[in-house]
Structure 1
């Protein structure tokens, strides 16, 4: 099934944005979780006008809840709640949701394991397979999976006696095997700086990569083929979120990102982060197996990943390659003004 429209973004690349009303004969009903985070807000804003949108979050003050009308704002349990997938499946059935877009790391594995049940009930879930998620959410497993496919930094499990013989030397970086953002990351000038960290293999000791950092948004079709890999550089960040950056043409980086997506078995939208070493060679940092918070830059550059990801789940053909153009972007806060009693007022709780 193939259909495109001249929506926003057409003309930036040679590939128009898909008309999402074609597969079902109406705009699809899409629920985006994590509406308080940058990933959820990006997705909601990108799909505005092309879908019927619902927003969910654990926080009644989450900004993205107020990008949709009152009846479509829902409070959700935490992603690590044992009943999370079941309660979300009940909510999707009640709201007749066609596509569920999770944007929070803790939700991904429970939803991946339950994806067949969601599909059987009529809801497609934008989530990779559980095995692919397991490779990416554990940074040690990711490094081991990608070793020999792309350049990876010298990395070892932090265990007794390891720091003193670390091949890459110091300064070095210690980081938890699991977790997102910069939480728990330690820059160690000497082995003594690691004294407070556990030596049980729950941390990694990794070569310091002091060069430029690139973030690549990758769109992978359901058959595993990469249809776009868009490099961007984060010129300025605030609390880990890009606030100024550039979208670039870097074919070698795009090729490496495609290799990482292939070896990990991801599909949908993911984000591959790399950083240059002291010789300027890019090395893999991590993979976020969900839509990234800076995806609005990629949409502005002509690759409407949110629309194409939803289109793919609905059975539409995704172009073999979606080109992008280079640009610069600065980002800013946007106010949502509402009546006094509206803040915290939602339709219900899952």
Structure 2
């Protein structure tokens, strides 16, 4: 596996990664800089710590160093010649560490030099990468949004490099806002829709509004920027789940125009919502917010339709029943339940839609 392939695997599963790269035989390779820090300063510190970690008397395999306020560097030894470094705003690297161990146990860990063998990007690939950079600029730090919860898991995987599924959020003194959404289309088409939606959300959001009013404001904003009439099925379509979490009371206030909410409390209760894909004005006229008071051990779960609609190697869809089976079996969600069920069902079959899902426990 080439270094870039390894990095892509990590970035698609851990959205709080800022800078990342390899040190191969004393040289930085595949460095990807996303943080607001000076890249030369980061590289200098990376190399100084690398040489400390290479001390043969200490036999270090991995370590964590605080670089600045809310900036942490994680190192892990991949082989005698290769180290991986990750800069993140989250100092909890446990999941990342075990995921790397999982990758290394499942692949040939011989790393080849990309510089001589990697083919230049085609014009289409360059456009896709540009779209990804723009979309990522609007994505919030999901690790920060999940901080108020005792347990949480978030999964995001577009069908292509970019897609129509997206996430958005805001933190206020009393509330945590988290949104997942599904815009019409895949690839660049879907990404353009998601960028438009996230931009409008930033404009119309008010901290004291109810979730259903945010959805209404979003759709008004979409109508305002489009000449087409959305009631005729044209333009940017978007189904979203808006969650407003009251931190003190552990109450979830939510609203949606098409995505379902699942409550896990002595079983699973599904709260279905009406989709606005074909008749948005009729749905939005009657849309309301609901509240769920989360008791100890209660959790909620929501996802886009890409998860149950994934077609497996047998040619059939996973469906809601297959999606919820691991929750019923394990009585809870962890990184190894729904994601594993999705990957097992998918097998070698291509991913058929963008996938995003969210699990939150008070």
Instruction: Give me the TM-score of the superposition, normalised by structure 2.
Output: 0.24
Give the structure with the higher percent helix.
Answer: 2
Instruction: For CA contacts below 8 A with separation 6 or more, give which structure has more relative contact order.
Output: 1
Structure showing greater Rg = 2
